[in-house]
Amino acid sequence: MEKNHIEIKNLSIRLSDKPILTDVTLEIAQGEFIAILGPNGAGKSTLLKLLLGLLTPTSGSISLLGKKPTKGNNEIGYAPQHRVLETDLALRACDVVGFGLDGNKWGFGLPNKKRTEKIKKALSEVDMERYSATPVGRLSGGEQQRLLIAQALITDPRILLLDEPLSNLDINHSNEIVSLLVSLSKDRGVTILLVSHDINPLLPFVDRVIFMANGKSAIGVPDEVITTKTLSTLYATDVEVIRAKNRIFVVGAEL
């Protein structure tokens, strides 16, 4: 077992000559469930693209499973930010999940027994096997999000990167997705990094959080990071963190 699944050292990146992340250093162990938080433009999605090998840091280094990030790495699963699909879309649930096997190819993958078994397994892991032949436009937002997670799981990844999987979901569907991810982390030892604007649905479950603002970052358990002192430092302005009824509210800045 590797000591760490992800190691980032002194990482900085500039896009269009604008600093996005500056001197980020962190280590993430196998099976950790990490929430990535921060305002729009803080670099949350940029960090995922760096881990996917889609961007190259300006300076510093990244190690994933002991290697540099590369495009099309089957050991890294990725679910992009979800938008509810049109109701008249004819693609079936099994077709969408199968795209996870075809990301580096043109066109649809040809059906075969091994492919069908992989799709069936992935659908089963997210409790969507019964919807295999259902047009995705007829599924709820929560069910569509499960399909994106199944698509990311189909190559049996060791690291799962999720960009805003809880956006556009009501509280019940959000809780279902979080419970699913907790099970994946515990049962399969998958390391999960999840971008979110709201820590509250995740608060009882995440191991640590990465909070990003103004190109800076802080990592630790929520009680260490989401504090008035730490966030005021990251935002470079006065921010107050209020805890009430097991929820966190940030006043004076966007979470």
> Is residue 102 included in any domain, yes or no?
no
Give the pLDDT confidence of 187-211 residue by residue, as tens digits. 888 999 999 989 999 999 999 999 9
Within a domain: 65: yes
Report strand pairing: 240-244 vs 247-251. Answer: antiparallel
- 93 in any annotated domain: no
Mean pLDDT of the 106-128 span: 80
Total residue length of the chain: 255
**Ramachandran angles phi, psi of 120, nearest 5°:** -60, -45
pLDDT tier at 132, thresholds 50, 70, 90: very high
CATH number at residue 216: 3.40.50.300
Q: What is the pTM of this model?
A: 0.90
SS3 124: helix
**Confidence check: pLDDT of 86 > 70:** no
C-alpha distances out from residue 161 to 1, 46, 114, 130, 195, Å: 20, 12, 25, 25, 8
pLDDT at 106: 39
Residue 108 scores a pLDDT above 60: no
In a domain, 200, yes or no: yes
State the pLDDT at residue 89: 66
Residue 127 confidence (pLDDT) above 80: yes
- Predicted pLDDT of residue 248: 93
pLDDT band at 83 (very low <50, low <70, confident <90, very high): low
Q: What would the pLDDT profile of 9-47 be if each residue is shown by its tens digit?
A: 999 999 988 999 999 999 999 999 999 999 988 999 999
Interval 138-155: pLDDT, tens = 888 889 889 999 999 999
Q: How high does pLDDT run on average in the chain?
A: 89
Residue 106 inside a domain? The answer is: no
Give domain status of residue 43, yes or no: yes
161 occurs within a structural domain: yes
Report pLDDT for 105.
Answer: 44
Containing structural domain, residue 32 = 6-87+157-251
Q: Give the chain's domain count.
A: 1
21 part of a folded domain: yes
Q: Which helix (H) or strand (E) holds 163?
A: strand 159-163
